[in-house]
A and B are shown apart, each in its own frame.
Chain A
Amino acid sequence: MTPPAPENPAHEAPAHEAPTDETPMLELRNVSRQFKVSRGLMKGSTNLKAVDDVSLQLRRGEVLGLVGESGCGKTTLSRILLGLMPPSSGEVLVGGEPMSAADRKARARRIQPVFQDPYSSLNPRKTVSQIVSAPLEVHDVGAPGDRARVVAETLDLVGLPRRVADSYPGQMSGGQRQRVAIARALVMRPEVMICDEPTSALDVSVQSQILNLLLDLQKELGLTYLLISHNLAVVEHLANRVAVMYLGRIVEVSETAKLFAGPRHPYAEALLASVLTPDPGMGVPDTQLGLAYPNPIDPPSGCAFHPRCKAATDLCKARRPETIRDAAGLVECHLATPAPLPA
């Protein structure tokens, strides 16, 4: 490993990329995560690299989309960012400061999740107001009397009538529940929200309402989002930049418009092609890549994408491509050339 990268990703200068020269809101430095998986009785266990040496930055106020097929490690990455799971190696920095497991509360105030399934993310034995005020109680914010007001205001913010405060999740629709989950995430006014497939468990009719709510909140409160989705249309609608993940690696990072206009990685290209084909299925894009997704326990040699890549060469089979970080973002492919610096 440790490719002889021309520059350390940690020192990647965003000077010619973003208008801000602030430190990134959230940063992953060479983060990896392995799982021990048993190969069956008496065969011992091997390591599955769910996230493999990922360095990624989330800039203040942006929406970064994260796309990739099922099993590529998106949820694992988000759980590491949330501190729900320690990385096997590497560092997570929040606002430039390294975060350790000990800073659970400090991290919680800055980063909050919105999960995929609002049927699973709300405790069925608590009322909406108990759910939404729990963060205030845990962090000891405000007097008990004030909390009811803060909860009510937060319900307003997410478009729920105040009278649902005494309802239980079982009494609400999927869309309403997801609004409750968003209210819980927002009540402490975090800086970053990690949305892992925030709409894919919802009825089609409410998906766009929830997405628009997320977008409005982001603008109104100046939030930073990491938006994980199978659905490229969602990402195109919301994200400023998109990171494409394949088998635990980030293989391309580009601005949304540029990615959709001309992807640099063949995998991103295949994902985009799948958007154009009508897919009434589950929202999981049919990549039309023919070959099935490789077994993550036993990843292909060289470039992990080569067995499915139309343009693969012998070099792709033999050697892992280096990460190219340039003005356009990031790409990891033997066939890509660094973009010239803007004049």
Chain B
Amino acid sequence: MTDMQAAPAASPTAPAPGPGKVPGKAPAGPWARMRRRSLRHGGVMFGAIVLLGFIAMAFLAPLLAPHDPLSQSLSTRLIDPFWGAKPHPDHLLGTDQLGRDYLSRMIYGARISLTIGLVAMVISGVIGTAMGVAAGYFGGRIDHFVTFVVTTRLSMPVILVALAVVAVAGSSLTVVVLVLGFLLWDRFAVVMRSATRQVRDHEYVAAAQALGMPVSRIVMSEILPNVLGALIVVATLEMAHAILLEAALSFLGLGVQPPTPSWGLMVSEGRKAMFFKPWLIAIPGAALFVLVLAINLLGDGLRDVMAPEGRS
């Protein structure tokens, strides 16, 4: 009560100058702060640089690759990489059983991994985010329905379903991308649902409703920007997930078909010679590892970077 005692006495004139002032050095806005924090975050910087490197490699493959990744040559089979016993200056990473240049195949392989990762992530992201945001925002019956669908989906093992679909529909890049895209939305849905429920309870959503904003716009301008952090984390996780699943499917012979240079397929093909020429699986394996690690570090770091401001 005491806090209001002053109120009646205070002059009813225009506001005192005090509250109108922005402090001399204002803290940065959310986007500027994010940029600044990113530059100082080791995981974000490492992940971003490595990922950008792979993306550049995929785009510039025709310029970077020293050879045609598909051209075979019986005379140059199984040449060692540069650190091996009998390297060849034309083939820095050696050649495979069919005499194809391994470096060129690795460079073109980045295209497959990144395409599958990105497209599958976008498809599943759109599906899962739409379901999760609808469930979180509307609640009630829609929430029950989405929860049911997600539970159903979670009860199906991804790899078995993927195998079954690929076995029926035949295997091609398109089929693999679509299968993964339509299977990997569950985590998007679960995370977006809970993030949306949290954001929905903020009064700025009620304010938007009270000013007559249509639901579509509330979702786009009030909800999504505030769940972006969680969305990016899931997106990176699922992209890495899709890349690994493609490798696994290709390894099993049900993914991308030969002679397309896919890292998973290269591991599979190298398997036969793995005891004599271990680099055949070590090189694509290491590339997968570094790419997935970079994506995960980036996502994890971005979550830190986008963490909500404290109430200063």
Contact = CB atoms under 8 A, between A and B. Distances in A.
Contact of B212 (A117, A139, A237): A139
Contact of A184 (B6, B16, B207): B207
Nearest to B21: A161
Interface string B202-246: 111011111111100100011001100000000000000000000
B206 A84 contact: yes
A117 B207 CA distance: 12
B20 interface: yes
A134 interface: yes
A159 B3 CA distance: 22
A233 B203 contact: no
B12 A212 contact: yes
A167 interface: yes
A208 B4 contact: yes
Nearest to A171: B26
Interface in A83-133: 83-84, 104-105, 107-109, 111-113, 115-117, 119-127
Q: Which DSSP category, helix, strand, loop or mixed, fits chain B's interface? A: loop
A206 interface: yes
B169 interface: no
Given A108-B211, A138-B213, A171-B26, A159 B2 contact: no
Contacts of B2: 278-280
B207 A275 contact: no
Contact of A237 (B8, B11, B26, B225): B8
B12 A215 contact: yes
A115 B26 contact: no
Contacts of A233: 1, 4-5, 7-8
Contacts of A112: 210-211
B63 to A, nearest CB: 40
Interface stretch (A46-54, A172-180, A334-342): A172-180
B22 A163 contact: yes
A160 B16 CA distance: 10
A34 interface: no
Contacts of B213: 134, 138
Contacts, number: 156
The bracket for how many chain A residues form the interface is: 35 or more
A173 B211 contact: no
A119 B4 contact: no
Nearest to B27: A171
B89 interface: no
Contact of B222 (A113, A123, A127): A123
A293 interface: no
A170 B204 contact: no
B29 A170 contact: yes
Given A216-B13, A231-B4, 4 more contacts: A120-B204, A159-B20, A181-B207, A232-B1
Interface of A: 79, 82-84, 104-105, 107-109, 111-113, 115-117, 119-127, 134-135, 138-139, 158-161, 163-164, 167-168, 170-173, 175-176, 179, 181, 184, 188, 204, 206-209, 211-213, 215-216, 231-234, 236-237, 274-275, 277-280, 283, 285
Interface of B: 1-8, 10-16, 18-22, 26-30, 202-204, 206-214, 217, 221-222, 225-226, 308-309, 311-312
6 contacts: A119-B311, A121-B202, A121-B204, A167-B26, A207-B3, A212-B10
